[in-house]
Amino acid sequence: MIIMSEKLENSLKHWLESISSIALLPELEKVKSELLGKSGIVTTALREVSKLPIEKRKIFGEKLNNAKSSIEEAIANQISKIKRSMVEDKMNSEAVDITLPSINESFGSVHLLTRAMRQIRDHYHARGFLVLDGPEIETDFFNFDALNIPKHHPARQSHDTFYIDGFDEVLLRTHTSCVQVRTMLKTGIPVRMISIGKTYRNDKLDSTHSPMFHQVEGLVIDRNSLTVGHLKNELKRFISAFFETDDVAIRLRPSYFPFTEPGMEIDCRCNKNGGKLTITKDGADWLELAGAGMVHPDVFKHCGIDGEVYGFAFGFGLERLVTLRAGVADIRNIYDTDIRWLRYFRSCA
């Protein structure tokens, strides 16, 4: 078994020192493949860390990750150095090409939230789901009544919801469940859909709340029997795809939502080491991720669906998912225009 032995540590140190002396890109790519490729030395060692006793796993894993980061940084720096040298050699040997872009030109990147939305859309498109959005200005019926939210519910008060001046029953939607209602009214059943979009609630902006945020909500309805087991399986598939791991364990805790019966909160096992989160079925901690449940029969009635029908729904806050995956502690940083944060998000790709 390859572990972070003294021999391996010295070998990686030697590789790290030799990278700066490589002058050709093909040679550098070969070294990168030998160290970081699918069958590379570091990759293989990291894969085998999980086989170690738990008390050694953290020590060796941390050493290997530090070595991997150092090698990646050294290779990136050397690639930049070689390319700069190639351009300089070309300019010295040829006439100056005034159309040549600046070597130090900084390019933009797709924002962290946009990347996550595209990833989720691709995941569900590939599985045959509809990926939809609807109007952000909604009526009471689509936002509350059709979802079995009673008139006296606190969510309908102005201290929780933004109403449009001069229109008592027109508001900025508080969830993307409105899209599910519109879809059921338009298409009937069966339904397999996901909705991603902006939502609005009368919250003060702080480290964990924003008056505008994005939701990801799923809905599956059929006349064939759908159970909590199907819901649990769908949630595991989503969490596994988003956090890019098959090592997922979740639990369902009873909770109340007017539009589900039964309703539940979704937690998954994880490890929290400093600012880093790792989703793993052997994790020591539980992390709350979503709300879900079986669709309430009254919701079907409001949407004109009769007869024996089954369905489940679930909802995630996109900003929460993104901050957990990227290790961002304050949601306000996602909306910040500080160039340092934008560069940091680019490095989280």
178-209: pLDDT as tens digits: 999 999 999 888 999 999 999 999 888 888 88
Average confidence (pLDDT) over 242-246: 91
Strands (E), 44-164: 130-132, 137-139
Annotated domain spans of the chain? 6-93, 115-347
CA dist 243 and 228 (Å) reads: 22
Q: At the fourth CATH level, which superfamily is domain 115-347?
A: Bira Bifunctional Protein; Domain 2 (3.30.930.10)
Is-cis flag, bond preceding 190, omega within 30? yes
Report pTM: 0.66
Which range has the worst mean pLDDT, 114-128, 265-279, 281-295, 332-346? 332-346
Alpha-helix runs per DSSP H in 94-111: none
CA dist 113 and 318 (Å) reads: 8
pLDDT in tens, 132-186: 999 999 999 999 999 988 887 777 776 688 999 888 889 999 999 999 999 999 9
